[in-house]
Structure 1
């Protein structure tokens, strides 16, 4: 009887352990999916951390400001008047070894109202290249230039960095991101008269959330992932 009772307890313990392991696996999978999709994060699908996404294929749009209207720039902030600056004509990059890769550019300039009613400024520029390789090289060139001039970079992840910015004493922040055939720049400025230490955290949230919105909105989900070159 005692042996039977002991066997039952051991079986119950094993079953409980299996259930715990299954629950842990399910929880881990949910966290992974949330991280990949941007779910469960602050504002426009992002908190304080900008998570790298797998390289994708992106499409040019003539209405980039519409992508920013999908969510608030950050908690407590409201997007105001916005102006598209989309150029449908393909441009040529300097390239390497005589190559002149082509890209099309689109962007948005917008006013942002803060929680206290003060006006901030937000601007985005997205260059969609015909191939992923030139976009990656353009990102590295900009990163090296910023490093050489002492303007950063402050690493966000392996394909994005931030740097402080300034507009006639108005504190700002710029984020540069590469993903597949996309080179994306986002810049935000605090209110006139504000101090850098007062707006630093909000600027970081605004540029990172805006970068998520733009990259996600321009991504072509039906296209296969680009092949690295």
Structure 2
């Protein structure tokens, strides 16, 4: 009974996160889903592609399941003296790749790759703040250009590291900018947008250049705060600078 209550609480937390991300309906909590292996100790997942696709023979088909997995805290601990929390899943790569090609996804066409924005998680050790960060990611992913096409890719940092490590993560991913909201920004109802490309250029400038008024003006553009409701517009400013 106690394990059941813990499981229900975890599912409620998952529901909060997917609701904040705007994925309720696309992600369904289904108690009937069961994985075939016994080592799972928490939520399990099954990923299905339900959109119809016409194959080479003119038949309408569905790709179905392309991934599955879950939480298995006890598995790694069987081979080590201490418990090791773990989550993972396997992907049917060939089937997923075929599906991405069928819908002409930019993910499989680097020529059409969209700019990346990373939302950092300054309060990543406080689960109650994660839905807010996820909502920012959702808002950015819904941004469209003048033709109604997706404007950018957005990624949420999910590790437990601090600010510097998160900035390095964004740099490694090749992000154009990072979105930052700590406790002070949350209280003020704002977010900070950090232009990583312009910031790198300013950091490489010589001492003489750094003393100029132009350099100081660019510094204000390299990192600026906007109201949370204007997050997308603020990111658009950065994207327009580097388009």
The verdict on a shared fold, with TM-score over 0.5 as the criterion, is no
- TM-score normalised over the length of structure 2: 0.23
Give the number of the structure whose residues are more often strand, by fraction. Answer: 1
Q: Of the two structures, which has the highest relative contact order with CA contacts closer than 8 Å and spacing of 6 or more?
A: 1
- Asked which structure has the greater CA Rg, the reply is 1
- TM-score normalised over the length of structure 1: 0.24
Give the number of the structure whose residues are more often helix, by fraction. Answer: 2
